[in-house]
Amino acid sequence: MTDPASASRRTQNRSSSPAPTLDSTDDARLREIDRALEAARADVERRLSDVRRADGGAGQDAMDRDIAVHRLVSRQTVLRRFTRDLCLGKIVPADGGEELYIGRTGLVSPEGKRLLVDWRAPAAEPFFGATHEDPTGLAMRRRFLWQLGHVVDFWDEVFDPQLPTDSRALDEHSAFIRSLGGSRSPRMRDVLGTIQADQDRIIRAASRDALVVDGGPGTGKTVAALHRAAYLLYADARVSRTGGGVLFLGPNDRYLSYVDDVLPSLGEDSVRIATLRRLVAEGADASAEPDPRVAAIKGRTEWEQTIAAIVREYERVPDEPTVVATSWADIDIEPDEWAEAFEAADDGTPHNEARETVWNELLDLVTAKVTEMPPHLARRELEHHTGLREMFDAVWPMLSPAGLVAALWTSPSLIAGHAAWLPDDDAERIRRTDGTAWTLADLPLLDAARDLIGDPAATERRLAHARALTAERERIETVVEYLHDADEDGEGTSLMLDASDMQERLIDPGALPTLPTDALAGPFAHVIVDEAQELSPAEWRMLIRRCPSKSFTVVGDRAQARHGFTETWQERLTSLGIARSTLAELTINYRTPAEIMAEAAPVIRAALPDANVPTSVRETGRPVLHARAGDLAGILERWLGEHDEGVACVIGSADVPPLPRVTALTPPEAKGLEFDLVVLVDPDSFGDGVTGAVDRYVAMTRATSDLVILTS
């Protein structure tokens, strides 16, 4: 591998070079792309208009129409957003084959000539994966740097020693290093054109099992994860929109806002992006758990079995026969008949959703005992029998998931009776007077309870929808019978209505209650988890419920786990039931300058000697500055005056003046983000032990250019 410091110096020496002149071949291809783009935009808009005007029908036809619209809109977004800068660069095969131009999307001319190869296609892989150690059949690679639709620079990476080189023929990291010198903004930069070989191997890895992406700060873990989502939706039929899709989970809302634009720029807007908060209705108002010990207790997976045991106690077969007084006789229902009705509930069906199945089975059993009147009349009376319904509600009640979890925190007897695995002092520690004062640590338990019980409101809406659908079918059936009677020769409208599915097509979906939908409930074909080192076992269970195939991309850094991470990734995942996983390590820091890493590395290694501290690939020549806390306002104002672009962040407890392009965050809030300038205030106040060391390390490594450390 090329020496990182050497690559950095060579790149910096070119920073004042004049804009390059494209050769005639490239210039001609870019003009062709311009013309083809106009035609492609017109074609997509025409097809989209046709699909939207067409009758979507119902069922699979409607779904197919929606998928077609979604795909066309995604392509339209990319074609409208970019011009000739769709082109990332080109590759030249060593065997003299066709030069291929690589693009954000594939593009052909109106005459059928291939102009751009989609970056996710197999033919484009060498553009990202070639290195001097393994050129993958390339003689040369050229990368373009675009600004406002114009090529302002390019890099030629020559792999064939027989080819002539010039000052632009640098190493495989040069384009990326050069791009890192630019100022940051509140959103993640577009880096598709400079994806590195180690990142590309992660992006294109198989998706069947779990892939762990372990890397320190600035190694491009998040970049690789986001591009992997777009790649899998394009290349993996199992993961595509029709196959289940992708869920991308980030640590907080600020982080999601930061990465929000990456996937649309790649032509993908079907990826569901969320935080753990967004997976549970109560998450919006949940506060942080103030006691780390309580958070650890609630993070255990045993709570799932505890909740299941409590739910089973609410499914009680009566010990004695029950009597239903009807208009024709008193009917005895024996305990074994109740038990038989209970057995109608399928294993795995949530408690509330199983109620209707058990109720209908009970009605069938009781109706079968009636001999005094016709069965359909008997069942009709039993179905509306207040006494029987009250008996049923007592032995199989509608439950509230939130109510059950709240009761756990306020009822010592409930804990004592169903959580024998919990020591008495821990049981006392988790008690609180307001059971519904939700914290983030409660969310996995609420999710487990909702999975086991079902949402009462959603269950009622489904039942209302089913009742309305039955009524609509009966109404249509009555109309059809009337038309049959009125149709003397039997060859008119009534005959048409006898055709298969015709009556179903007459149902007006708008007349039915809306069915509940939860776009984040899954199941998803693949889940990508960023900052995964922070997840508790119970939080992992939330994700496995949404991805039963256990096809995960697990992105994290054990050295950035605030509460410690002593085992290996494989040991952690195996304990969670994810038995098959592979590990990909990223060891090159593309973001943080070497001068900053030289001070950050000892901070984390003092607490975690085996921390995976990456090697910085670039230098700025500017050391870390140390000053007094009272200098904060002057430092920020001076930096803003010297920099027309870029963003700064103050991390630590301080009164930050309201200034443009300046943000104040805590270390956990800053995780995953990057800033041109970071001002670290009183880092010793972050605490002792692993948590304090991790917070200091995370804060220091958010800087892409300058770091200032202030002490009192």
Distance CA 323, CA 368 (A): 15
Strand order in the sheet with 703-711: 625-628, 703-711, 675-681, 648-651, 662-665
Closest residue by Cα to residue 203 from 108, 252, 268, 133: 268
Residue type, 592: T
With a CB cutoff of 8 Å and minimum separation 6, the contacts of 319 are 335
For 61-126, the three-class secondary structure string (H helix, E strand, C coil) is HHHHHHHHHHHHHHHHHHHHHCCHHHEEEEEEECCCCCCEEEECCCEECCCCCEEEEECCCHHHHH
Q: Do residues 208 and 37 make contact, with C-beta atoms less than 8 angstroms apart?
A: no
3-state secondary structure of 345: coil
The answer to whether 106 is a known ligand-binding residue is no
Whole-angstrom Cα Rg for the chain: 31
Distance CA 587, CA 585 (A): 6
Q: Do residues 384 and 392 make contact, with C-beta atoms less than 8 angstroms apart?
A: no
Closest residue by Cα to residue 193 from 87, 86, 82, 88: 88
The answer to whether 493 is a known ligand-binding residue is no
Q: What angle do CA 192, 226, 209 make, to 5 degrees?
A: 125
Distance CA 11, CA 171 (A): 10
The answer to whether 2 is a known ligand-binding residue is no
With a CB cutoff of 8 Å and minimum separation 6, the contacts of 625 are 706, 707, 708, 709
DSSP letter string over 289-342? PS-HHHHHHHT-THHHHHHHHHHHHTS---SS-EEEE-SS-EEEE-HHHHHHHH
Strands (E) located in 594-645: 615-616, 625-628
Query: How long, in residues, is the chain?
Result: 712
* N- to C-terminal Cα separation, the chain: 43
Distance CA 219, CA 235 (A): 24
The answer to whether 221 is a known ligand-binding residue is yes
With a CB cutoff of 8 Å and minimum separation 6, the contacts of 457 are 516
3-state secondary structure of 484: helix
493 burial level (CB within 10 Å; 0-12, 13-18, 19+): exposed
Distance CA 271, CA 256 (A): 12
Distance CA 566, CA 43 (A): 56
Q: Do residues 585 and 199 make contact, with C-beta atoms less than 8 angstroms apart?
A: no
Q: Do residues 249 and 275 make contact, with C-beta atoms less than 8 angstroms apart?
A: yes
Distance CA 648, CA 663 (A): 6
- Which residues does residue 107 pair with via DSSP β-bridges, in sequence order? 116
The answer to whether 470 is a known ligand-binding residue is no
The answer to whether 218 is a known ligand-binding residue is yes
The answer to whether 298 is a known ligand-binding residue is no
Q: Do residues 631 and 710 make contact, with C-beta atoms less than 8 angstroms apart?
A: yes
The answer to whether 215 is a known ligand-binding residue is yes
Feature table: binding site: 215-222
Which residue ranges make up the annotated binding site for ATP? 215-222
